[in-house]
Every structure is written in structure tokens, then in C-alpha cells.
Amino acid sequence: MTEFAAGVDGVTFDSSGARLLGAFYRGAGHGPRPTAVLLHGLPGIEKHLDLAYRLRDRGWNCLCFHPRGSWGSGGAYSFAGLLDDTRAAVAWTLTQAAVDPERLAMIGASLGGHTALLYAAGDPRVRALVVLCPVVDPEAFAFPREMAEAFAGMLRGVSGADLLAQWPRLEALGGHLGALAARPLLLVTGDRDELFPPSHYTALTAALPGAAWARHPDGDHAFSACRSWLVEVVTDWLVARLGSQS
């Protein structure tokens, strides 16, 4: 059985002609490892890489990647491209010898959580799903113009006006959530989230009553005051569902 050493590799892969950049954190162990694909939010200031390091310490692999138009990846940023970029990331991940295709998980934060829910609903190969303060109902969020302009300034090929125009076209999750009912799902939120309060998750928890919900009373949208708690909750939950040994 092949033995894999811990490490991190810079990676590139193609998505609809755009060259995407990422990092693949390799866990140590004998045989293919459980693996998570990590999706950051818009624009991805908080990338949650502490989760990747802790998962690697637990014997997991973790791919963190940047969608088109963000953080050096090619192409122009668009909400419509997020699903295709995630599909390309999963396809790349499943070609790696260190990856156990039967133990694939996904972690999505904020807008990345919306993408993770939407993607996983259509791909049963995702065996466990963690969403951190995810966007569930785009219509419930009044996207401030100042925020859109600030975010666009960190992205390529998109303006604040473009982001505001694209936001209402984000696909609603309601019709897709039922497809996730049979799989383990962990929702993690902060009670002091300045963007999405706990009430934002009413529809999600009603549609998926079997989902676990971890809340921190001092957590903001980026879990700034409770990173140690977040990392422990997420990684322990994933290891309990998909293991850490081959």
C-alpha cells in the first residue's frame, strides 16, 4: 500500500478555459486519504486555511482553490462560473492517487457555502458537507453597493455594478435541499454574524431536520473571535463521519 507524506503542493487546473490556482494539502498515511474541497466566499478575504492545516494534521487531504477572476486565477469573476469551477476542482481532486473517492467531503463558507450546497445536491460523490455561515436565500440579503464596489476591487473582470446585477440571479436552493437529506451535513454559524443572522437558516434547518447545527454566541461572519472552536468543531465532525485512517 502506498504511503503518502504530509505536504502542500501548488496546483493549477482548467475550468472552461480559465486557469485556476489552488493548494493541495496532503495528509500523511498509508493508502488514499479522506479529502475535503474547500470553497471560500466572496471575495475570499478569509480563506479558512486553518481548517486545511488541521485536516492535514488529522491525516486528511484538502484542496483550497480560487474561482476564476479571484486571487490570481484566470478569467473574469462571475457568480455563474462558481458551479463550473467547483465541478473542475472536484474532477481534479478525484484524479489524485492520494484521494479516496469514497471519502470526499466539501466545506463551503458564505457564498462558497451556497455553491457547496448546490453542487453537492447534484453530486452524490460528496459524502459529507460542512457549510459555514452560508448564503441560503440571496433575496433575503440587501447587498450594499459599497460592499459590492469594495469586493469588485479585489476581483478581476467584474465591477460592483456587475456583482449587484448578478446577485438576484443566484439559483435558489429550496428545490435542491431535499437531495441532501440522506447525507451528513453540518451547519456552522455565529450568533453575531453581521450579514446572516440565525434566522437566515430557518428554511435550511426545516428542509434538513437531520442536519447538525453548531452555533457560537460570539461568532461573526468570519468567526474572528472563535477560530479555535471552529477548527475543532469542523475537523472533529468530519473525522467522525469519514474517518482519518485508510
Output phi, psi for 186, to 5 deg.
Answer: -120, 120
What number of other Cβ atoms are within 10 A of residue 109's Cβ?
Answer: 29
pLDDT value of position 76: 98
CA pair distance 147, 110, nearest whole angstrom: 15
Per-residue pLDDT tens over the stretch 17-72 = 999 999 999 999 999 999 999 999 999 999 999 999 999 999 999 999 999 999 99
CA pair distance 29, 183, nearest whole angstrom: 26
pLDDT value of position 246: 45
pLDDT value of position 175: 87
pTM exceeds 0.95, yes or no: yes
CA pair distance 157, 134, nearest whole angstrom: 24
The domain 3-242 is placed in CATH, from the list 3.30.70.100, 3.40.50.1820, 1.10.150.20, 3.40.50.1000, at 3.40.50.1820
pLDDT value of position 194: 95
Sheet holding 61-66, edge to edge: 7-15, 18-26, 61-66, 33-39, 99-109, 126-132, 185-190, 212-216
Question: Per-residue pLDDT averaged across 167-181, rounded?
Answer: 92
pLDDT bin (cut points 50, 70, 90) of residue 174 is: confident
Per-residue buried b or exposed e for 119-154, using 16+ beta carbons within 10 Å of the residue's own CB: bbbeeeebbbbbbbbbbbbbeeeebeeeebeebbee
- DSSP characters for 149-173? HHHHTTBSS--HHHHHHHGGGSPPS
Q: Where are the beta strands (DSSP E) in 81-229?
A: 99-109, 126-132, 185-190, 212-216
Domain ranges of the chain: 3-242
Q: Where are the beta strands (DSSP E) in 67-142?
A: 99-109, 126-132
pLDDT of 245 over the 70 cut: no
pLDDT bin (cut points 50, 70, 90) of residue 1 is: confident
Per-residue pLDDT tens over the stretch 76-130 = 999 999 999 999 999 999 999 999 999 999 999 999 999 999 999 999 999 999 9
pLDDT of 244 over the 90 cut: no
User: What does pLDDT average to over the chain?
Assistant: 96
pLDDT more than 90, % of the chain? 96
